[in-house]
Amino acid sequence: MMNDLQTVFQSFYAMICPKGERTHNMENLTLRDKLAMDRTLLANERTFLAYLRTFIGLIGTGFALWKLIDLFWARVISVFLLAAAPAVLAIGIYRYYKTGKDLKSVTESTHK
């Protein structure tokens, strides 16, 4: 069990650290620290997927309103939804990469 966990952590560590930084001793980290980093990475991915799901929902609702309801207010709302969807996706992508970069910098500063 412990070897499997070490293997998972080493592959995670290899993903987020540049090749020159991989020579640090991972024995300095406790199991709690390793698991906390894994949880943080997974939370970041879940958050991105929530943004993606919201984007898809906004696009679908916008098109459905546009096609199914032929009223002025429905067209206005659908245009708003279709315009907001790419903004939501852009915010999600930005936050995903920014949080990943912050996680990488915290990991690198902890190992130096």
Contact call for residues 48 and 96 (beta carbons, < 8 A): yes
Contact call for residues 9 and 22 (beta carbons, < 8 A): no
At residue 58, what is the residue type? L
The residue written with tokens 């069990």 in the block is: 1
Give 111 or 65, the one with higher predicted confidence: 65
Tell me how far apart the terminal alpha carbons of the chain are, to the nearest angstrom.
Answer: 28
pLDDT digits (tens, 9 = 90+) for 23-55: 444 456 788 888 888 899 999 999 999 999 999
What's the pLDDT score for residue 74? 95
What's the pLDDT score for residue 27? 54
Cβ contacts of 63 within 8 Å, gap of 6 or more: 78, 82
**Is this structure's pTM higher than 0.75?**
no
